[in-house]
Amino acid sequence: MTGPEARIRELFTAAGVRGWLHAKRIGSSGDPGPEVALDADGRVVMASVYKLPLLVAFCRAVDDGALDPVAPVRLLPEARTAGPTGVSAMSDPVTMSLRDVARSMVAVSDNAAADALLDAVGLPRVHDALRVLGLRATSVHGGTRDTHVSLVRDTGADTLPDAMSRLADNDRPVDPTALDPLLSSATTGRDMTRLLEAIWTDAAASPAQCAYMRTVLGQQVWPHRLAAGFPHPAVRVAGKTGTLGPLRHEVGVVQYRDEPAVAVAVFTRAARAEVHLPAVDAVIGSTARVAVGALRV
């Protein structure tokens, strides 16, 4: 293997991860057009990347008139999904519009917001969006709530915090179904760049809803993965992360000023299970930088 793929594989190996990557220029002519691909068709557990097709399904439901984006949603502490960010981390009842629920789901990967949105949209609409957009290698089986239930069950834990602790314990390795792409929500790098391209070319939903999705993805707050590879004011990065045990991902769009945008999907599975693996976070940005650099015109 030569070219950018060889360098990307070297970077993944140095970071102690198995990696999957796909990058392509958005709107490029040809079939499939210029690309950088490393195991781009290998299926990988999505973790919170599932929130991206859920966002698309929500926007398509708004287009169809099935959901009112400004309808209020009340999220109660005793009924919402646990998580470290957004409404999940709040102590009191919260009321917000559906479109701001979706915004929180993406901007800070809010688990409570994601499950509330999935309840409103319904899995059948998510499956329909995947079918219509031709994402044949992508499957969404449920939300974060379902993942938490399976983690508690499969680790033999009594509580979710205990399950997460066992998942991060290198001395007691576990193999829950939540980490199996045959049994959990899963996708490929190629499917995710296809979905991103559909959002950026107004093919995923109406132009107004695609513009909303591009705005929301650009509001994601995390600077330590994809964005870390492009610390320049002339580069815009929009994306969605995913994290679960040894999995750390990000899919997004990188655009240098006055150049075509590039869709990038980077998935990793670390050899170790610690909660904090900064070298793994960083390799998502460094491999994306290599891939985007090879596709710049």
Residue that wins the pLDDT comparison between 28 and 65? 65
What is the model's pLDDT at position 1?
59
Type of residue found at 197: E
Decide if pLDDT at 116 tops 60. Answer: yes
Q: Which residues pair with 35 in a beta bridge?
A: 24
Rounded CA gap, 191 and 43, in Å? 10
Type of residue found at 17: V
Provide the 8-state DSSP code for 139. B
What is the model's pLDDT at position 171?
79
Across 5-56, the runs of DSSP E, i.e. the strands, are 17-25, 35-38, 44-45
Strand 44-45 and strand 72-75: the pairing is unpaired
Decide if pLDDT at 32 tops 70. Answer: no
Which are the contacts of 124, defined by CB distance < 8 A and separation ≥ 6? Answer: none
What is the model's pLDDT at position 274?
84
Domains parsed from the chain with CATH numbers:
4-295 (3.40.710.10)
Rounded CA gap, 62 and 65, in Å? 5
Decide if pLDDT at 256 tops 60. Answer: yes
Please measure the distance between the N-terminal and C-terminal CA atoms of the chain and give it in whole angstroms. Answer: 23
| 80 pLDDT tier (thresholds 50, 70, 90) | very high
**pTM of the entire structure?**
0.96
